[in-house]
Structure 1
Amino acid sequence: MSIAPALHSERTPVQSVAQPLEGKARARRTDAIVCDLRGVHRQADTEELTRQLIETNVAVARSMASRYRNRGIDLDDLEQVALLGLTKAGQRFDPGAGHDFLSFAVPTIRGELRRHFRDSGWMVRPPRRIQDLQTRIAAAQEELEPRLGRSPRPSELAAHLGEQTSDVVEALAADGCFTPTSLDARVADGSSSLGDLLGDEDRALAQAEAKVMLAPLMRALSARDRRIVRLRYFQEQTQQEIADSVGLTQAQVSRVLTRILTDLRAGLVERPPAA
């Protein structure tokens, strides 16, 4: 994934950063560039100052990307997404509106990161409401942890977000959907993988269960009906072969089979097998 050039220059903003500025110096530099942008009239000057504005705040974008690490997407990809958001914010920013640049840029970057996770980050996709709630929970955790001095409880997250505690718990439980456990992962004793412990479909068990459930219903059929069932489903004869064997027409055999199957289905519903 690569970032398209933000401006019509020979280099993109993220390619020309030398030394990232520290917090206060970056804020002063950003304010100075925004002030200069308000006074320029030539398109070339606007493009150059916008490039400088983006470059100055690359560290902010990378810092935001790092908050989403270890969630199933490579940090390099997250940084590219965050830098794309920063570039879009720089291109769309209106210096004449009187807004602080980062107040405009941060939501744009965050939106790009959340969109990327929503569209690309799920290996097992929960309902959309859970995806959206997880993103909100992540932001709430970042806001509440410094205030509380610990990780917030689900009830505190729910109160902060105005959600039901049960919904927050469900979203937290689905957190592993970003990176579900591999079937090759070793279990506690190390001698087997998780996939080794998963059972296969037991056809013999299913057949035995079917016989137990159908046996009393089959005994209730007439001798001719039992014979027709045996010829059709055990000996796999055609309807015409059965008709020749029992002295009926093919159409009559078809109707008899339909009736038998209907009666058997009704019997299974009305008479569940004993535990």
Structure 2
Amino acid sequence: MTEEKERLVLDNLRLAGYMAQKYKSTGIDFDELISISYMGLVKAANSYQPERGKFSSLACQTIYRDIMYCIRKRKHSIHCISLDSERCNRDGDSYPLQEILGTEDPDIRRLDNTGLYEEMISCLNRKERLAVELVVVRGEKQRTAAEQMGISQSYVSGLCKTGLEKMRRIYFA
């Protein structure tokens, strides 16, 4: 690391600490947030180009992105429950979760849900329908769907979210 980059990092350590402090309530250990922030600061210093703007702006965005990545990664692992984990019933007997949930009824797969799907998808506008069909039904990545539709990936994400919410309302109505 050059002296100039080292100076940028040292001059902005408080900024990294401030960014870590903002996300203290996310459940991630504060020391880990500090580490992520410092790593983001170094990453920002390595990619900084003075003609493109202030270093602090780049550093904030880089640190924010790194912290959000860590939060998303942790969020996924928090929601995963092992089917082998034990659960207790009212009598105090413990059983593996897989045994409690049982197996899938093969007759369920045979049900024809085409009419329900058509009813749910018909409530969506053209863009929502296309986004849901590309991403959810066909399993394409949001970025690929965005390129096909000529819009941004974040817009595709929003269209899928609102479209699926409308479909849920019809399904549970």
TM range (shorter): 0.3 to 0.5
Question: Greater relative contact order (Cα 8 A, min sep 6): structure 1 or 2?
Answer: 2
Write 1 or 2 for the structure with the bigger share of helix.
Answer: 2
Higher radius of gyration, 1 or 2: 1
Q: Structure 1-normalised TM-score?
A: 0.29
Q: Structure 2-normalised TM-score?
A: 0.45
